[in-house]
Chains A and B, each alone.
Chain A
Amino acid sequence: MNDDFSELEDQLKNLRPVPASEELFANIEQELVDLASEKDPKIGRPVRFRINWLAVGAGLAAAAVIVIFARVNFRTPAQTQNVASVSPAPGVGSTTTPAQFIPAGATQVVYHTRDEGLLFPRGSEEPVRRVRSRIRETLQWQNPATGASLRVSYPSEQVELIPVSGQ
């Protein structure tokens, strides 16, 4: 710069800034991985992962619709047979219609949990811990009249931000 200042500039260059922590690198890497999963990835998880979930979800929904229609079709000949019978069996004439399914159960299985470390959300004084869980939920319906059951199972992902206190 200037000869008068060259010695001072050398002294300044010998002064080393405090190095960045490993946590900074880890936090940035985690955010970039999350970002890559949101948009066209440059790093991190492959796109295939998300597309598969969509395909699985659509497939399950289609399967559920097919099963419901199949049940309705099965009942139609049975009704015709009842009308044709001379003496209907006692106790069958309840209020439940033949194609009516009622909820019979629901399960939620957490099969993978990952602690993704501490984050500092915008505007927050306190850090939070981000925990990502992969869950499989299963819903079941049953037709009490016929004993037929219908079960739909699908995967989901849940992200929890847990406040961390005392730090």
Chain B
Amino acid sequence: MDNVATHENWKTRFSELAPGLVLFARQWVRSQADAEDVVREAFVRFWRRDHNIDNRPLLYAAVRSAALDLIRRDGRRARRENEVYSGMAQFSDPQFETIDDSQGVLATSIDRLPHEQREVLVMKIWNELTFAEIAEALEISPNTASSRYRYALAALKKDLLPQ
């Protein structure tokens, strides 16, 4: 329960985590602004409870919980949740800074992944969590986390193959 973040280092630590945290939050909300709002609420809640900022599974679980709270509070957002869980989400804001067409195609393919696979992929690739940490954050087994990651990569590879 010791919060190692001080005024001097929280910004440094948070700036390292922020892009990945916002991308993680984007799995539940359509806009970048909503995702940042989720991250802000989660981070302040996390800080208020004196958690260690280096406890990444707990931090990502807090973001996930804040995102789900947000969409449950609002009926309109609840419809988005249904879309997310049915794997049909269409994002209004770009999630990635694509520099060429191939990256654009890859980003579109990621959007098409089933939610539970995309969630693990985001945590693994852009947040560099281990499968054990992902498992703890999502309350699944490490084997399930690893399987979802492999399924995600396989689906992307299949999607990107020339027709």
Contact = CB atoms under 8 A, between A and B. Distances in A.
Interface of A: 1-2, 4-5, 8-9, 11-21, 23-25, 27-29, 31-32, 35, 42-44, 120, 122-123
Contacts of B10: 32, 43
B47 A27 contact: no
Interface residues of B, number: 47
A16 B97 contact: yes
Which one of A15, A21, A25, A44 has the greatest number of beta carbons of chain B within 10 Å? A15
Contacts of B23: 17-18
B123 to A, nearest CB: 12
B96 A42 contact: no
Contact of B103 (A9, A15, A17, A18): A15
B22 A18 contact: yes
Contact of A15 (B11, B15, B96): B96
A16 B153 contact: no
A17 B17 CA distance: 11
Contacts of B14: 25, 28
B40 interface: yes
A42 B3 contact: yes
A64 B149 CA distance: 71
Interface centre among A11, A16, A29, by most B CB within 10 Å? A16
Given A31-B44, A43-B7, A15 B106 contact: yes
B96 A17 contact: yes
A42 B14 CA distance: 16
Contact of B44 (A12, A14, A16, A28): A28
Q: Give 7 closest A-B pairs by Cβ, nearest first.
A: A43-B7, A20-B18, A17-B23, A5-B153, A17-B19, A24-B36, A31-B44
Contacts of A8: 153, 156-157, 160
B125 A12 contact: yes
Nearest to B4: A42
B95 A17 contact: yes
Contacts of A35: 44, 47-48
